[in-house]
A and B are shown apart, each in its own frame.
Chain A
Amino acid sequence: MKISLNWLNEFVNLGGIDIRDIVSRFSLTTAEIEGYEIKKPKLDAVVVEILTCEKVATSNKLSKLTITDGKKKYQVACAAPNVRVGLKTAWANVGTKVLAGIESTGMCLGADELGMSNLHESIIELDSSAKVGAPIAEALPFICDTIIEIDNKSITNRPDLWGHYGIARELACIFDRELKPLKKTSLTDIALLPEVPVKIESDLCQSFGAVKVKNITRKVTPLEMQARLFYLDINPHGFLVDLSNYIMLEVGQPNHAYDGASSVRLSASKGLRDGEVFTTLKGQVIKADMAEEMLFIKNNGSAVALAGIMGGQESGINADTIDAVFEFATFDSGSTRKTAAGLGIRTDASARFEKSLDTNLNLLAAERMVYLLNKYDKKASPASKWSYKTTRETKPIALRVDTAYVEKFCGVKFIWKDIIKKLTALGFEPTMVFPSADALDVVVPTWRATKDVTMQADIIEEIVRTYGYDKIVPMPPRVDVEPIAQPVKKVLVNRLKDALANVHGLQEVHTYIWSDTPSKLKVINSCIKGCDYVREALGPSLLSIIAKNGQARIFEIGQVVSNGKDEHRHLGICVPSYAELASILRALFGAKFKIGEFAGVAGFHPKNNATVLVDGKAVGCIGVAVDKDVAIAEINIDGLDPTRVNGGGKTFAAPSKYQKNHLDFTFEYDGVYGDIESAFDKFKHPLNMGFRLKDVYNKSYTLEFTVGSYEKTLTAEDINDIWSKIIEFGRKNGLTLKQ
């Protein structure tokens, strides 16, 4: 939102304060300022007076003027309709040229050429008191301004800051300057005039007020008002429309004007009549069947405005309007937001109503409007009394804050007298509870009481931000020292990543959680291509990286879902060699593999795939991805023990004092080694200290058993006993000893 410094100065004298200070103090106390822009006349113009004026015969528009800048006379050709002898206007010496056969020096300027409005039909008309020869900025001081841009997002919680007066109030508080009262014309003491009938038929309308004004003859907006609107990106349209916008920008109350020539009976209600069609100013058509939950303003029963958002095509005032009815209402924030978002229409009005406005703004804005009307159009006068209905009036809120708590909460010892002064400057009414002074009673002004300030914590924010965050001295907290056990899941991930990257030489990658492969969990509102489903596996994501980079050694630890519901953490690995992949998993988890039942997913080699087992439990699969010729592992790591990663979690025992013996056996077996291994895992003998595969040749597996004892050196009988038991055990399990 843009804010004019001139406008602010009307309410709080900021004289002598550097704009950079305003920007930085406001940013530190209230809301973020995105930047500021200095406005000045586009051309180097001076005040001149027209001495002679005659029509040029060869042109139907041009006049030939003699002007003076006080020092010299010039001949100027000018097409404006309002040229006349004695008029003081703005002129810039931009050189001499010949127009329609007339030599013309410089040009007389309109408001657009000075950069202060979009209006260009006529040249500037200055007051007769303007000093000829003076720079134009002296005659029109408002042409120079500073426009501050406030970040809208940072004031979403502050309905009161959506108008200049609210910003002025903040600055008055920040810089300890006086906030001037808004000049208004009271509407409550003209009870003798008739009412404008207004009716609230839905509680989405919190309050609804109207006032009729007659004899409005002014058509052209005063230059100063034009300049202010124009600098804030609102193009001037004509006095009444401009005034309506001006009030909104000044006090933050959106409003609407209706032609008052015929009778006006306003109401606020939901929906349209059967068959009724409402067309917004911008041409959007709303039919009765889609309007059920939308709030409309109706005049004599017909919808004339989409409440709080936009007027209709025939609602408003026109160039001939002399009597007008002005509406000032408050609409439900949620409903306004829903309707506006649903239709994709965001307006200055809806932006304000969405923030929850104070119902008391209605009358204030009306009184200010009538004051300004009267100021710029002396004949205009109220033709009705203030006609007002309300269903949910904004009331001040009374809160009590515990001063000791506030100091503990902030970590600051406050001087409460200063706090009270700052709160008062913001419109709060704070009273110290005497004699104990351990609490502060605060009445929250209505413009802060709609949503923004409702509890003690909100008052604390007001106290501490106006005190100054920069004055708080950082303090280390005092806490009990306790051992911290880091969550297992996190430890597991860290250990896995370290082992994969450092021990196995794999590069970690990140891929998106979604894919275009159908799964049971759909992303329903994605604006991104390929983001249709939540993925069930990491494999396809990793393969897409291989597709981009060629052969690579990569891994990812990331989230997937199963059954369209449960989120799991998977480890995906992709390396060129299937055999290496198996050894990585063996090293990582002590994994074992089960071959034979198709374990993989689509795209896996039908033979070269296996189920991955950790402690006998299936945790995933590995396989050769046929079309990329790479090996992929997909492991669910939920529940794996982090202490066991990469050989961790071992036990240690003193080795036996007695000599150990190694016995080799070669078995013939027409199957995979895993079968032999799982069989001998079950072999029990007091002297068995474990076995390993020593060699494989043509279905002949040579196993080396270590045998020994902690109590004695083995005798030949001991060795013979275990020797024969191993052979016997092998035979029972289908393993023939090779002779």
Chain B
Amino acid sequence: MIRFDQVTKTFEHEGGKLTAVDQVNLEIKKGEIFGVIGFSGAGKSTLIRLVNQLERPTSGRVLINDQDLSALSTRELRGIRRNIGMIFQHFNLLETKTVYHNVAFPLLLAGTPKNEVKEKVEEILDFVGLKDRAKHYPDQLSGGQKQRVGIARALATSPSILLCDEATSALDPETTKSILKLLRKVRDEYNITILMITHEMNVIKKICDRVAVMEDGSVIEQDTIFNLFSNPQHPTTQKFVQSVMNDEIPASILSEVESRHIYRVTFNEGTAGKPILSSVAKKFDVDVNVLYGQITELQHIPFGNLVVEFQGNQEEILKAVNDIQQAVRIQEVKVDAS
């Protein structure tokens, strides 16, 4: 659907060059909610703006349905942009226009007949739950309502792609939740591919199917939500995962790992809820003591993380660990490992 092929974007400014996006390769599938996370300045906004060519790549290609966007004329590009909706952190609504006319705006630009406009706008306002606000002006709306207008406007031309640049970053947690729910509904009902950019791991965790982590213009890691959360590779990814999973081992335990046998056990889909620990305790001559942990849900898959201590003799512990390894991921906790 959307493909980045070795895409680089360099900005020239006095005193040098800045590579905002650096040889990025990504493939986003139809109907998927794909997240891009990174710290400020990582190049996320530049990346998303490459999709509708608000930025032209310095090198590499951006393809939508196998069509290379950089080969298009300005006119052709305008047509393509009608197929790509975009929503923004600060909503970017026309202040002088009512909700109705804001949503009708992209249709007006496209020269849609008036009666069709009316029908479409009413349908979408209903979809985003703002039917009764059609005559209001943006300054009479809350942040969440403004973003709903933004979403309605982005959907007016029935696009197949929706770009979200920090769409919930200006909203409180409750409103964020409701907007994310709405975005999921957008995907489920219209089968729209959503590319979403954020610096909040919570947002990724709640709604995305897959995620890419960006740092200094490069994609340093990408995977399904489940894999990325359960097994983050890059230190930056680990930091992001920790920001919502909080799987850091408490200092009090960490200070004693040398003298004790402490392991981290990672459960997932098939294994969460199975009595793996108690069964090894029966099978071998060891005691298992849970020190710390949590279970959460990622994409409807239960996912958990336990820090456990084995007590018993070395040999039995190794046997027990080997046994557990057949079923789930288990790693010895070392001081340097955190």
- To the question of whether A and B form a pair in one complex, the answer is no
